[in-house]
Amino acid sequence: MSIKVDNNKIIFTRTFNTTVENVFKSYTDEQLFKSWFHPEGGSTEIFKFDVRGGGDAFFAIHTSEGTSYTVTKYNKVVAPSTIDYFDYFADSEGNINKNMAGMHNIINLNQINKDETEIESVSVLPDAQSAQDLLNMGVEAGMNSTFDNLEKLIVTL
């Protein structure tokens, strides 16, 4: 995985040996998403999962360090190439934490060839300091580990 920081944006890029349809399905199918969208050794518990423009999701990621809750609001979902959404930290009831910055994410899926797909995940934060704070929290290691889980899932599809 490569990572690039551009002011208030963190751009993650990784290539997977599968079709763009399989990667898209891994983000939009509840059972598939649940099986990979967490760091190694963690788990994802889904309370709501409506992946479409105007839809939303609410889920928990459980790790040995604790549990984090996320509310996702989908802006635009275009199969099989784009998922555009906002993520917010939340409490266990799904109430958005107003003290923490939300993050605008744009997932672009690019079919490189028949059996290779590149994920470009752009996380847009309110300012450069918020992006740096997220990096300091270990988001790069977390993304790498999560994408490793996706890699394992993809070989089963």
Residue 64: is its pLDDT beyond 90? yes
DSSP-assigned letter for residue 71 = E
- Is 41 in a helix, a strand, or coil? coil
**Each residue of 92-116: pLDDT tens digit?**
999 999 988 789 999 999 999 989 9
**Each residue of 66-99: pLDDT tens digit?**
999 999 999 999 999 999 999 999 999 999 999 8
- CA distances (Å), 112 to each of 12, 17, 65, 118, 139, in order? 16, 10, 37, 7, 26
